[in-house]
């Protein structure tokens, strides 16, 4: 059975995007960047919903042409080489070492450690089906005043156990919860 870790950046007021879809606010300092890279390297595959996949696949294949940020330059080759899984009812194929599945139930059979990067709709579906084992929520020091919430109607109430809290780069707080 697969193990799924949900890795997500959120604002202090609980949003993963601003009111107009903005995602220019997460701060990736050296400590958070190193932690993110370590988590990415330990995963068997990266997990995305279609919307986040389209955003990621439009940037990371040619990140060096668009960015000079140290985090981006270090992560881009890792992203290109890593196996990826996209859950989508509309996408049938994807490039960059990517497998497409049409239903979250198919993830259990993969027997891999999957890291879900963002994506409130897929996260809600995985949560509803009791498939997320760990939530790694990175709270950034910004109030967006609206947007897309980190937990988009998970379909039920559930309890979590705090496994770790930690501060990165003196301003981003990790809340690591397990089910």
The pTM is what? 0.92
Contact 11, 145 (CB under 8 A): no
Give, as one character, the DSSP assignment of residue 97: T
Contacts of residue 58, Cβ cutoff 8 Å, sequence gap at least 6: none
* CATH number, position 157: 3.40.430.10
Domain count for the chain, please give it. Answer: 1
Task: Domain of residue 9: give its range.
Answer: 3-178
* Burial zone of 161 (CB within 10 Å; 0-12 exposed, 13-18 middle, 19+ buried): exposed
DSSP 127-158: HHTT---EEEEEEES---SSSEESS---SS--
| Per-residue model confidence as pLDDT tens digits over 43-100 | 999 999 999 999 999 999 999 999 999 989 999 999 999 999 999 999 999 999 999 9
């Amino acid at each position: 059975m697969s193990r799924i870790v949900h890795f997500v950046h959120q604002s202090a007021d609980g949003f993963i995007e601003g009111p107009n879809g903005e995602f220019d606010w997460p701060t990736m300092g050296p400590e958070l960047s190193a932690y993110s890279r370590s988590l990415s390297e330990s995963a068997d595959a990266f997990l995305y919903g279609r919307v986040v996949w389209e955003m990621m696949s439009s940037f990371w294949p040619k990140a060096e042409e668009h960015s000079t940020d140290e985090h981006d330059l270090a992560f881009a080759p890792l992203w290109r080489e890593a196996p990826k899984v996209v859950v989508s009812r509309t996408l049938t194929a994807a490039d960059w070492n990517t497998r497409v599945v049409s239903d979250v139930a198919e993830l259990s059979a993969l027997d891999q450690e999957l890291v879900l990067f963002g994506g409130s709709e897929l996260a809600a579906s995985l949560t509803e089906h009791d498939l997320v084992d760990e939530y790694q929520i990175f709270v950034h020091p910004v109030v967006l005043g609206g947007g897309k919430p980190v937990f988009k109607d998970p379909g039920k109430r559930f309890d979590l156990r705090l496994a770790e809290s930690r501060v990165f780069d003196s301003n981003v707080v990790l809340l690591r919860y397990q089910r």
